[in-house]
Amino acid sequence: MATATRRPPPMTHRAPGPSRHRVTAALLLTAAWTGGFAVLALWWRDTDAVVGTAGWLTGVGRITGLLCGYMCALLVALMARVPWLETGVGSDRSARWHASAGRWTIGLLLAHIVFITLGYAAQAHTGPLPQLATIVLDLPDMLKATAGGVILLAVGYTSVRAVRRRLRYETWYHLHLLTYAAVFLAFSHQLSTGADFVASPGARAAWYTLYIGVACLVIWFRVLTPVRLNLRHRIRVDAVVPEAPGVSSVWLRGHHLEDIGAQPGQFLRWRFLAPGMWLASHPYSLSAVPRGDLMRITVKALGDHSGAVAGLRPGTRVWAEGPYGALTAGRRSRDKVLLIAGGTGITPLRTLFETLPARPGDLTLLYRARTPDELALRGELEAIAARRQARLVYALNTPEGRRAPITADGLRALLPDIERHDVYLCGPPGLAQAAYDALRTAGVPASRIHHESFEL
């Protein structure tokens, strides 16, 4: 490990406060579970008795249908990119919640189809397949609901990790947007054929309120808020600067960009209005704190979109959404901080390295790369370390190419009191997992390891 340290004049330090992200997450989960129990209570209120096999099968079908409808609303709410959700609990956690909600929705949908078909078939003394055809063709709004169900199952299939890895991001992204169409198509049949809604105006009103509320979130945060941001700030590419092999910084110019409110450590979703790039937005972290009419992102070529970033021309218009993410100073609870970066994980940590309040010697950045040439933003990092009396440590491969692993013993040697640090971690999944395991072995509590990962 190579170290770069200097001793400039001391800086003032403001003691950090405790993070509220866990409390926020707990409250939101409690609210979601409470809604689920309310849905079960609706079925219980409207069910006098369950008689025979047909009654049990139909009852299970009704319960799973109600819960599936409720989960559809939660699923769309988690797609709305509500800023206080993504910053309050973290974009990685909200993404995992969305993935989990999707799996539950698909499972409940399949259970609803199977059990309601078997229950109705048992009541009519007919086979499951003829009864399924009768349900689809004869009951009101079922053709639309069937189309919605097929779309939802297709979206669920493409979201399976093994399938998703074979798809281009843009393909997966646009297929995923069909979730909105699926939920819209399936909504009316819930009210027209659901026994719990047909005879209960109050239940129908509550269901309309739930779905209209979720629709308002989507319209406000995925349509109106981005339109307002981009009309006001009018962002364009100002310059593209190579930083390391395969890594480029994009300087962006707009009006009053500091008013966007992006905190160090956060990211925005960027849509470059250039040929081949405007169809999908991608998340890239800010690698410099916005100042005046300039901001910067730094991107590594890992795919078609990120690879095309280096060829952007000055003047290209940019559509931005955000800011998002909770990898910010708000998570900090200790005076001493260790930042661990790998690859382009350095981009959000570079802004934290510059801005986190810290006394001389209390701030350390460990930057993992294969070779010195791959240390993006190296000059800036060394200047920050010199100015702040912070510690900058590089973990590089040996001249023979042998990897320098991040281990518990290595971390203790670097920081003997590492268990007294908050740790911010950002990098490729393999490095992030290895560093997390090493930190836990070294005695750092999980609550003080702050990271965002989008591996679903």
In a domain, 456, yes or no: no
Task: Give tens-digit pLDDT for 96-154.
Answer: 888 889 999 999 999 999 999 999 999 999 999 999 999 999 988 899 999 999 999 99
Q: Residues 200, 307: one domain?
A: no
Is 147 within the bounds of a domain?
yes
146 & 211 share domain: yes
Q: Tokens for 212, please give them.
A: 């209209």
With tokens 């916005």, the residue in question is 290
Give the whole-angstrom CA distance, residue 116 versus residue 54. 9
User: Does residue 394 fall inside a structural domain?
Assistant: yes
Residues 126 and 146 in one domain: yes
159 shares a domain with 74: yes
Confidence band (pLDDT; 50, 70, 90) for 398? confident
Which residue has better confidence, 314 or 303?
314
Which of 299, 324, 349 represents a domain boundary (last residue)? 324
Q: Which domain holds residue 75?
A: 21-229
Q: State the Cα–Cα distance between residues 101 and 75, nearest whole angstrom.
A: 6
Residues in the chain: 456
Give the CA angle between residues 375, 346, 348 to the nearest 5°. Answer: 155
Task: Report how far apart, in Å, the C-alpha atoms of 228 and of each of 52, 101, 224 are.
Answer: 58, 30, 6
Predicted confidence at residue 19, as pLDDT, reads 53
Q: What pLDDT does residue 98 have? A: 86
Separation between Cα atoms, residue 277 and residue 274, nearest integer Å = 5
Same domain, 179 and 58: yes
Please name the residue that has the structure tokens 């007919």.
126
Q: Which residue has the tokens 């129908």?
A: 204
Half-sphere exposure of 408 (CA within 13 A, CB side): 10
C-alpha 278/C-alpha 338 separation (Å) is 37
pLDDT in tens, 52-75: 889 899 999 999 999 999 999 999
CATH of the domain at 302: 2.40.30.10
State the first-to-last Cα distance of the chain, in angstroms, to the nearest integer. 32
pLDDT score for 13 = 41
pLDDT in tens, 208-250: 999 999 999 999 999 999 999 999 999 999 999 999 888 999 9
Q: What are phi and psi of 43, to 5 degrees?
A: -65, -45
pLDDT value for 107? 95
Of residues 132, 138, 89, the one with CA closest to residue 114: 132
| pLDDT for the residue 20 | 61
Q: Are residues 281 and 389 in the same domain?
A: no
Are residues 160 and 120 part of one domain? yes
> Residues 299, 352: one domain?
no
Residues 239 and 310 in one domain: yes
Average pLDDT, whole number, for the chain?
Answer: 87
pTM above 0.75, yes or no: yes
Per-residue pLDDT at 9 exceeds 80: no
Is 54 in the same domain as 172?
yes
d(CA 448, CA 98): 24
Residues sharing a CB contact under 8 Å with residue 188, sequence separation 6 or more, in sequence order? 141, 144, 145
Domain's final residue, options 297, 324, 351: 324
Same domain, 253 and 217: no
Q: 254 lies in a domain?
A: yes
Place of tokens 């040929």: 275
For residue 142, being part of any structural domain is answered with yes
Same-domain pairing of 252 and 346: no
Average pLDDT for 433-452: 91
Give, in order, the Cα–Cα distances in Å from 153 to each of 53, 150, 158, 320, 455: 28, 5, 9, 30, 21
Pairing of β 363-368 and β 294-300? unpaired
Asked if residue 243 is part of any domain, the answer here is yes
b or e along 55-69 (b: 16 or more beta carbons within 10 Å of the residue's beta carbon)? eebbbbbbbbbbbbb
| Count of CB atoms situated within 10 Å of the CB of 240 | 17
Q: How many domains are there within the chain? A: 3
Angle (CA) 85 86 89, round 5°? 75
Pick the last residue of a domain from 324, 351, 373: 324
Point out which residues pair with 336 in neighbouring strands. 421
CATH of the domain at 395: 3.40.50.80
Report helix angle 91-124 to 52-78, nearest 10: 160
In a domain, 131, yes or no: yes
pLDDT attached to residue 214: 94
At residue 195, what are phi and psi to the nearest 5 degrees? -60, -30
